[in-house]
Structure 1
Amino acid sequence: MLQLGRVSASVFSGVAEATLALANVNFDFSLVKVNAPIEFEGVGHALSTFRRDVAESGSTHITARKLGAVFENVIPPTPRLYEAYGRRASQICQHYGKSEEGLESAGLFADFAGPDATSIWAAATSGKAAIAVHLLACLLARFWKPAEAVSIWEEIISVRKKTLEEAAIDETFQMATILASQVSITHEQLAEWDNSARAWLGFADRAHDEQQTKLKLVIDEMQRPIATKSTLYESVIDSWTVALRGMEELLQGASQGVSHSGLILALSCWHLYPHLSVEGGAPVLQKDELFPHGTTAYLNLQGNPNTDKRGIYWSLSLSHMR
Structure 2
Amino acid sequence: MSAVSKLQAAFVSASQETTLALANLNADFSLVKIEPRIEYRDIGGALSNHRRVAGEAGSIHVTARRLGSLFQSIVPDVSNLLAAYGKRATELSKSPDANPTGTRDHGPFQEYVGVDGSSLWAAATSGDAALAMHLLACMLATHWQAPEAIAIWVELVTERKRQLESTTASGNINLQDAVALQLVISREHLEEWDTSARAWLKATCSDPLVNERQLRVLQILKGLKLAVLGPTDVYRSVTDAWKLAMETFDKIIGGASYSIYDGAVLVALASWYLYPDLVVLTNEKREIHQHDALLQAGGIVTIGATLPDLEGPPGVRWLLSLSHLKYYGPPVTVSQSTESDEGRLTFDDFVVVSLGAIV
Q: Which runs of 5+ in 2 are unaligned?
A: 308-314, 328-359
Q: How many pairs were matched up?
A: 314
What's the TM-score, normalizing by structure 1? 0.87
1:281 maps onto 2:280 in alignment:
no
What corresponds to 1:306 in structure 2? none
Greater share of residues in strand: 2
The AA in structure 1 aligned to 2:302 is Y
Pick which of 195-204 and 88-97 moved more. Answer: 88-97
Q: Do the aligned partners of residues 199 and 58 (structure 1) sit closer, same or farther apart at CA in structure 2, a change above 3 Å counting?
A: same
1:142 maps onto 2:117 in alignment:
no
Q: Which residue of 271, 275, 300 corresponds with 1:269?
A: 271
The AA in structure 2 aligned to 1:260 is D
Pick which of 288-297 and 153-162 moved more. Answer: 288-297
What corresponds to 2:40 in structure 1? 40
Q: Do the aligned partners of residues 222 and 57 (structure 1) sit closer, same or farther apart at CA in structure 2, a change above 3 Å counting?
A: farther
C-alpha separation between the residues in 2 aligned to 1:301 and 1:186? 41
1:233 maps onto 2:235 in alignment:
yes
What corresponds to 1:317 in structure 2? 322
1:50-101 Cα distance to aligned partner (Å, 9 max, x none) = 100010011011000000011111111011111100000011111136566x
Q: Do the aligned partners of residues 11 and 187 (structure 1) sit closer, same or farther apart at CA in structure 2, a change above 3 Å counting?
A: farther
Q: Do the aligned partners of residues 61 and 228 (structure 1) sit closer, same or farther apart at CA in structure 2, a change above 3 Å counting?
A: same
C-alpha separation between the residues in 2 aligned to 1:320 and 1:18? 40
What corresponds to 1:219 in structure 2? 221
Q: Do the aligned partners of residues 105 and 60 (structure 1) sit closer, same or farther apart at CA in structure 2, a change above 3 Å counting?
A: same
1:213-244 Cα distance to aligned partner (Å, 9 max, x none) = 11112322456979974521100000000000
Using the TM superposition, give the Cα deviation of residue 265 of structure 1 relative to its aligned residue in structure 2, in angstroms.
1.0
1:11-67 Cα distance to aligned partner (Å, 9 max, x none) = 867865764565345334441111111211232121000100010011011000000
Alignment of 1:133-282 (within 5 A): 133-171=133-171, 174-207=174-207, 208-221=210-223, 229=231, 231-279=233-281, 280-282=284-286
Q: Which runs of 5+ in 1 are unaligned?
A: 304-309
Overall identity of the aligned pairs, in %: 32
Provide the alpha-carbon RMSD of the alignment. Answer: 2.9
Greater share of residues in helix: 1
C-alpha separation between the residues in 2 aligned to 1:223 and 1:271? 22
**Are the aligned partners of 1:167 and 1:177 in contact in 2 as well (CA < 8 Å)?**
no
Q: Do the aligned partners of residues 218 and 110 (structure 1) sit closer, same or farther apart at CA in structure 2, a change above 3 Å counting?
A: same
Using the TM superposition, give the Cα deviation of residue 295 of structure 1 relative to its aligned residue in structure 2, in angstroms.
2.2
The AA in structure 2 aligned to 1:261 is G
